[in-house]
């Protein structure tokens, strides 16, 4: 199953049909994907399952209909076990950004973390999952696929939020503060913690 967030509403690409659910179910063969995305953006559909026996085929069709923007980001720990967060547009987020020509995705993730927060001495520990969300820019939909990496940093100095990217704060949060911050974050960020790091913030 793939979880795609459309304007922070869940669209699950799934190969199983669930009965008794609060999700609307659509069959891949009979749905206009762009129309479904538009209906989710305009709050006419709150939650949806997009069904086909082959989940990878659903994702392939989605990519054919909606242009992909590839991004890299970091879930960064310091030596105290704190996690690096940014505050942008009034919501807590993790540093991430789009790939540039000639970069591999690991380079993108590390560059974006450093640019958005000022954190240096970054080392990638492991690759995490990808997250998927659809956003609208200049009237067009884009499917952002973000490749996430767990990183560590021994950066000691002050952090410098990238103001020209609308970032108000860049801070190290303790596990209890992370739990609080996630209440005012995005669904795909919560997903990273649910699936990979729940042990860290219990």
Beta bridge partners of 50: 13, 26
Cα 34 to its chain centre, rounded Å, is 20
Domains of the chain, first to last:
2-65 (no CATH), 68-201 (3.90.79.10)
Tens-digit pLDDT profile for residues 6-17? 989 999 999 988
Does position 200 have pLDDT exceeding 60, yes or no?
no
Query: Taking Cα atoms as reference points, which of 85, 92, 108 lies closest to residue 171?
Result: 85
pTM of the model: 0.90
Tens-digit pLDDT profile for residues 150-198? 999 999 889 999 999 999 999 999 999 999 999 999 999 999 998 654 4
Judge whether 49 and 23 are in contact, CB under 8 Å.
yes
pLDDT of residue 20: 65
């Amino acid at each position: 199953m793939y979880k795609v967030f459309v304007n922070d509403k869940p669209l699950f690409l799934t190969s199983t049909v669930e009965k008794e659910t609060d999700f609307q179910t659509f069959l891949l063969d009979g749905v206009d994907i762009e129309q479904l995305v538009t209906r989710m953006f305009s709050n006419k559909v709150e939650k949806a399952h997009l069904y086909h026996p082959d989940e990878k085929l659903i994702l392939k069709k989605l990519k054919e209909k909606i242009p992909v923007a590839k991004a890299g980001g970091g879930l960064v720990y310091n030596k105290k076990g704190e996690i690096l967060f940014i505050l942008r547009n009034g919501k807590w987020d993790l540093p991430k950004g789009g790939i540039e020509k000639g970069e591999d995705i690991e380079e993108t993730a590390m560059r974006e973390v450093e640019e958005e927060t000022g954190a240096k001495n970054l080392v990638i520990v492991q690759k995490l999952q990808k997250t998927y969300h659809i956003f609208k820019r200049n009237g067009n939909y884009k499917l952002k696929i973000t490749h996430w990496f767990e990183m560590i940093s021994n950066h000691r100095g002050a952090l410098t939020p990238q103001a020209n990217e609308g970032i108000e704060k860049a801070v190290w949060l303790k596990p209890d503060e992370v739990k609080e911050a996630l209440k005012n974050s995005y669904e795909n960020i919560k997903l990273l913690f649910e699936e990979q790091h729940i042990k860290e913030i219990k």
